[in-house]
Amino acid sequence: MIKKAVYGAVAGIVLASWLGNYSYREYYSLPNLVFLRHYIETETIPAVAFDLYYVVDKDDDRTPLSVTVAELPELRFDPPYVHQQLSRQTIYVLRGYYNEGAMADREAMEPLRLRTVDVHYSNGEQKTEDIGEIVVKRSAWPLAASTDASRQSPVTMLSAGGSSDNGGFGSVRADRPVRLEGVSSAWLESLGDSLEYELTPNPALGDSANLESGQSARLDYRFKLDDEERINAYELRLRMNFVEPNGEQSDYVVFARADPHPTEAEMRTFVRAERGRKE
């Protein structure tokens, strides 16, 4: 009887340990491969596409074999590679590009608001995945080349850069008289306090925004993301808006991005939220 009781106690401990490990593993495991939320502005020209990020458990060997968008048949993605490794999950990135050879002649079209992509996986699954929202400016193709000097941009890039704390800047020099009007972007209103930016000179503060030839202007930005936002991907086109004395308008684009780099605690919160959505 004593031996049976001992064996029973040991078996109970083993079972309890197995159940505990199973519950622990399930609690910190994603229910599926998950594409992160993206807030992006892009344009349909070869040099300007966008990246997609997804997160998957380390023991999940599914891989996207192809990612397609019906409205953008020229869009392609390179094979995924590791962006960030955490203790239980890995974030991968798919680098996008436009295949110039597949781009048909077209007139400019209204911007596309892309919220899903079609994915074919290595295990044979085909799914439509939510990706957040990507604003795609669909420009005319081929691009029109202008030889009229008056139609060339009134400003030239001086310098640009970024930092590890999700900040950056861009500066330009005026090549002829021009007025700096402000900054625009598809995401300024939606991001609110999550994006700080400053113009120099700043018309909103009463600075003289009339630039003579040789004078410069600068745009500084920094993403101020909270714990939940740091797992998202941001790629913005911050446009410095200029107006010439004859009324001609033009923009200089500063590319602003913040890639996902969650902490272990932020990833655990993300996993719990995903499990809650699926239950």
Q: By CB neighbour count within 10 A (0-12 exposed, 13-18 middle, 19+ buried), where does 81 fall? A: exposed
Encoded amino acid at 63, one letter: T
Encode pLDDT of 200-212 as tens digits.
999 888 878 999 9
Encode pLDDT of 153-185 as tens digits.
999 999 999 998 999 999 999 999 999 999 999
Encoded amino acid at 53, one letter: Y
Give residue 23's pLDDT band: very low, low, confident or very high (50, 70, 90).
Answer: very low
H helices within the chain, ranges in order?
A: 2-27, 188-191, 264-278
d(Cα 244, Cα 250) in Å, to the nearest integer?
8
**Residue 213 DSSP class:** T
Closest-CA residue to 99 (of 77, 130, 70, 131): 77
**Domain 149-258 sits in CATH 1.10.10:** no
What does the domain layout of the chain look like in residue ranges? 34-143, 149-258
Query: What pLDDT does residue 279 have?
Result: 61
As a whole number, the mean pLDDT across the chain is: 88
Least confident piece of the model among 44-48, 70-74, 231-235 = 44-48
pTM of the model: 0.86
